[in-house]
Amino acid sequence: MTGTLLTGLILFLLEVVCNGEPTHAGPGTMEHPYEQDKLVHQTSQWVLELFNDSLPFSRAESFCRGQFSSLITLQQSEDKEETVEFLRQTGLRSAVWVRDHKRAASKPVALSRQYLEFSALNFPKESHEGFAHVKLAFPGLSSVSVCVRVQWDTDWKDISTVFSYAAPVLTNEFQLRGRVDMHGRIHLALIIHGKHFPYKASFANDGAWHHICVTWSRISNYWAIYVDGDRKDMGYGTDMDRDIHGDGILILGQDQDSFGGNFTEPFFGNITDLNVWNISLETRHVRALNLCSATVQEKFFSWNLTLINSHQVVKEVQAPLFCPAVHQQMELQGCRTLQGWSDQLPPLGWTDCSDFLPFICRSSRARHHRMEQISKSQTSQPSAFMNQLMKLSNKSQPMLVQQSLELDSLAQASALLNISVQALEDTQQEGLQPADMVTLIQLLTLTADVSSEPSVCNENSTRDNIQELSQHFISVADSIISENNANKWQAIKEVVNGPMDVVKSIDHMVTRLSQSLTAETDHVTIHSPNIKLELQQQRLDEGSKVVSFCGPGSETHSILDCISVPHQKIQDLQNNGFYKITLVNTWYGSLRPLFNPEENITMEPTVTDGSQRYLGTVLGSSVISTTVLGDDQPVSMAVHFQLQHKVQNYIDAVYDPVCAFWDFDLTPETGGWWNTKGCEVVSKHYGYTVCYCNHTTNFALLLQVYETQRSLENEKALKVLTFIGCGVSLCGLLFTFILFIAVGVPKSDRTTVHKNLIVALGLAELLLMCSDWAAENQAACFMVTALLHLFFMASFCWMLVEGLLLWSKVVSVNISEDRRMKLYYVIGWGLPVLIVGLTLVISGDKYKDHNHCWLSVKTDTIWAFVGPVIFVLTVNAVVLCRVVMVTVSSAHRRAKMLSPSFASKMQTFDLTWAVTRPVLILLPVLGLTWICGVLVHLSVVVSYIFIVLNSFQGLYIFLVYAVYNSEVRNAIKRIKEKRKALSFTNCSQPTSFLPSQRAPIISPWSRSPPTSSSPETSETSGPFNSTSTSLVIKNESFKKESFVNFSLRQASGNQVVQLTGFKPSGTKL
């Protein structure tokens, strides 16, 4: 399809680069896949393409990715049945590769190096005579595998022999040797039946331990060399088709020029864990051995120093070896296959992942149809770029009948990237067409997946030009993700998942080539207009340092996009045994315009106070990524990064940044999506944001867009109104509490509930006024948040108790007052403490908001407050409805007791007042005014209403519980009357007649003559005489003396007696 032109160019390059050398495609493979080797089958949803050319599992997956499809997954039973039927129709009598959906893709993990102690042999450089003889009788071997761990002496540059097996008839029967090149890399070579194969398999001479395995089989005539679990070299054929001779001698560290003697080409360093099998191990077995994982294959010889005779200069040492088998998921059981030609065999099976099998690529019908359209347009009307590409490749007509071929070597990829860069430069003015972009993305995908195994071409030439290949790779990627192609990305969105596919290819390519790129230098930088790539390597034993990477600067922005790994994290790697760290950092400056602005990023809004209306979320920064390699293994590690805000400014719009990363596994069928798990905002600044994430990947800022609902003036006015309201409310609550204590309001369950509500709400209001000042100190802010949560929760719980108490007055409840108050205290104080405590334990560091001293609204923590509040408001709303019903019923009954004419006039008024009065009184007391909080986003007017109703709640309580409370008013009236009476008595009576401890009372009644100063005598002017008498009465019912005053007047011939008495408490009798 779209890769047909690419195929022709690759085939041409095979001839140019490899000079016509034949390829070794492996058993059962074809040199190149042709169109007739592909069979297509369409289902209701998918298009299945069967490719008969056989590939290993990983290369089959790579091939399908290059076709913008995927290796088939049999997740549903229907998929399995349709695929089996398709295979039967084709008549294919071979299993095909399928992907196991249950097996997760490998990810970097936080490795803690696991060590095992091995007994090793040290071959010192001071003596050339060191050797070790394995005391084992060898029979003739038709297959053999030898695995060993070696630590090369970094100062030795000559040829070294790891082991040599000499037979009586041939000294060079089986041997492994190595040499160091000018770049400091060790190259290995095998000698089999005296034939010396070339030095091709290589690894860095870095002084570290390396696991080396060699295998050979006479039946398949196949040999291979593995280094650290990866196959580095392979081949077919020897001069003699026979078994390895028996009765030989196996020597470690020396080459035998004669049978068991004349040692030359010594090895210097350490050797351990030598094991021998009389079979040819498979790749999966070698990988397991590299990780110190046991295999089921029985060993012919197992490492045991008691079975080895060593020269006196060879010393036994202890070597701690890294064994990460515990932490890495290895596919030891092989890869999943499917067969459809036999009903007797199970359809699903397992086989070695390195086997060569056919495979099926699956894509959606829409994608397949769009690919065909692009292919036809590309064939009929080649673009300027394609014409120039054909011109540079000296091809007037590409081989369009063939499918895109998987690249077999980096040499081919480098050559094709080279002419692609030239074509891009030559056609820069014309630009790329959508079909060109599809082809180049396919080229990048295939190049990134090029196998590291030796192939048809000599890898040495490619390795010398790794830097150039990487530069060309970045140049091609840069041209694809240029902002000029933003509209063209929309034209290919049905084929390509998006620009992050290019990012994934870059990550894959650079990670694979990081060892080669840093072989001669510790710092590599590749720069293009839209991409900056940097590799930094450091040895941890030389002292770890904080390594920071920043994107390119600009004249308009002084703040750079930067990412760094914390120093402590690097130190932890060294403490866990890592000796080298490589950081792969990349910056992408042009990805933001490539994302479709109409595709809103689904995300919960972080601003929920009603001040702004949520419009959506957009990508608002460059993309920056980092990959950490510890000892060349991917390691997940926490990072800090800061990114500039890049977004168009709209009037009346504000943005709230969210730290995020691209998760390729979130929706694999669409290439992934943005995720925020493990990332958080550290600080927000004008124009940029600082983030922290607990893992490594591709990061960006997502900006949540809000339409401002309130102007700055309104925001300031609401803030001032809230502060004033809280102050007035606090004063009202304080006065109410003092009145309850000072005026001697009779003790009851209702007054007790009132007092607790006043205390809880008052403390909450006080903390709310101080919360802004505490925000500057994190510890103080956390404490204020917890206390605010506690006292506001207690306030609502006591509002709930107010409702329950009111309900008990309306509905008969058979609970004693003592038991009822105990229940009220549990609800009012015990429940808030429980809720706050559980929330602190569960939420941990997600308890507090980053910007305010309040619960985090970005997590579920806020529901620890909102949930109970909703419950309280619901219960109290029911109580209020019940109270209104009872009040209306009472008004009806009173209206019926009146005369009909008067009742009709009063009925409307009574009913209206019966509804209005309890609502006005109970709404603030029961907390129902908080219902306005869910409506503040509708209008700024509602915000003002909400602030007034709730910040002045203390004032309402003062008016309801104090000013208009009959109990409080009666208590105040009694105090006033008592003071008036005592003042009157002190002014009108002789001192001797007042109660005194010094004047004992002789008689219960005593008379006193009136005085001219008596208020009563002064008031009775006229012709009538009056007498005023004061008595001190001792009455057992009052328990103490009580003052009684009475006056005798004559009016109209009648005696009028006026009698006023007071209890000691001042209660009027």
pLDDT in tens, 182-201: 878 899 999 999 889 988 88
Coil, strand or helix at 269:
strand
Q: Which amino acid is at 858?
A: K
* CB of 284 closer than 8 Å to CB of 352: yes
Give pLDDT, residue 902. Answer: 52
Instruction: State how far the Cα of 271 lies from the Cα of 253, in Å rounded to an integer.
Output: 8
Give pLDDT, residue 164. Answer: 95
Give pLDDT, residue 975. Answer: 78
Give pLDDT, residue 213. Answer: 95
Q: Which amino acid is at 851?
A: N
How big is the chain by its Cα radius of gyration, in Å? 45
**Which residue has 């008839």 as its token pair?**
169
Q: Residue 315's pLDDT band (boundaries 50, 70, 90)?
A: very high
Q: What tokens does 359 get?
A: 């495979």
Low-confidence winner among 45-54, 895-904, 975-984 (lowest mean pLDDT): 895-904
Give pLDDT, residue 102. Answer: 63
Q: Which residue has the higher pLDDT, 683 or 856?
A: 683
Low-confidence winner among 183-187, 473-477, 651-655, 703-707 (lowest mean pLDDT): 651-655
Give pLDDT, residue 508. Answer: 87
Q: Which helix (H) or strand (E) holds 587?
A: strand 580-588
Q: Residue 1028's pLDDT band (boundaries 50, 70, 90)?
A: very low
Low-confidence winner among 730-744, 761-775, 951-965, 1004-1018 (lowest mean pLDDT): 1004-1018
Q: Residue 1003's pLDDT band (boundaries 50, 70, 90)?
A: very low
Comparing CA positions, the residue from 255, 246, 206 lying closest to residue 227 is 206
Give pLDDT, residue 700. Answer: 92
> What is the CB neighbour count within 10 angstroms for residue 104?
9
Instruction: Give the pLDDT mean for 835-854.
Output: 84
Q: Tell me: pLDDT of 642 over 60.
A: yes
Question: How many residues are given for the chain?
Answer: 1069
- What long-range pairs does 876-879 form, CB within 8 A, spacing at least 24? 876/799, 876/800, 876/802, 876/803, 876/926, 876/927, 876/928, 877/926, 877/928, 879/803, 879/804, 879/806, 879/807, 879/810, 879/926
Q: Which residue has the higher pLDDT, 891 or 288?
A: 288
Q: Residue 295's pLDDT band (boundaries 50, 70, 90)?
A: low
Q: Which amino acid is at 601?
A: I
Coil, strand or helix at 405:
coil
Residue 361 Ramachandran class (φ > 0 left, ψ -120 to 50 alpha, else beta): beta
Low-confidence winner among 164-178, 268-282, 765-779 (lowest mean pLDDT): 765-779
Q: Using CB atoms within 10 A of its CB, is residue 2 exposed (0-12), middle (13-18) or buried (19+)? A: buried
Q: Which residue has the higher pLDDT, 1003 or 514?
A: 514
> What distance lies between CA 393 and its chain's CA centroid?
47
One DSSP character per residue, 625-679 reads EEEEEETTEEE---EEEEEE------TTEEEEEEEEEEETTTSGGGT-EEE-TTE
Instruction: State how far the Cα of 108 lies from the Cα of 630, in Å rounded to an integer.
Output: 10
Instruction: Give the pLDDT mean for 756-763.
Output: 88
Instruction: Give the pLDDT mean for 328-352.
Output: 69
98's CB contacts (< 8 A; 6+ apart) are 71, 72, 73, 74, 83, 336, 337, 338, 348, 360
Cross-strand partners of 654? 706
Instruction: Give the pLDDT mean for 954-976.
Output: 76
Question: Measured on CA atoms in the order 676, 682, 686, 688, is the torsion positive or negative?
Answer: negative
Q: What tokens does 678 get?
A: 């493990």
Helix, strand and coil percent figures for the chain, each rounded to 5: 40, 25, 35
Please report, rounded to a whole number, the percentage of residues in the chain having pLDDT higher than 90: 17
Q: In whole numbers, what is the pLDDT of the chain averaged over residues?
A: 76
Q: Tell me: pLDDT of 21 over 60.
A: no
Q: Tell me: pLDDT of 913 over 90.
A: no
Coil, strand or helix at 560:
coil
Comparing CA positions, the residue from 731, 869, 729, 733 lying closest to residue 789 is 869
Instruction: Give the pLDDT mean for 436-465.
Output: 65
Instruction: State how far the Cα of 491 lies from the Cα of 476, in Å rounded to an integer.
Output: 19
Question: Measured on CA atoms in the order 45, 51, 56, 61, is the torsion positive or negative?
Answer: negative
Give pLDDT, residue 749. Answer: 82
Q: Tell me: pLDDT of 1060 over 70.
A: no
Give pLDDT, residue 2. Answer: 46
Q: Residue 216's pLDDT band (boundaries 50, 70, 90)?
A: very high
Instruction: Give the pLDDT mean for 675-690.
Output: 89
Backbone φ, ψ for residue 559 (5° rounding):
-85, 130
pLDDT in tens, 714-744: 767 777 777 887 888 888 888 888 888 877 7
* CB of 188 closer than 8 Å to CB of 232: yes
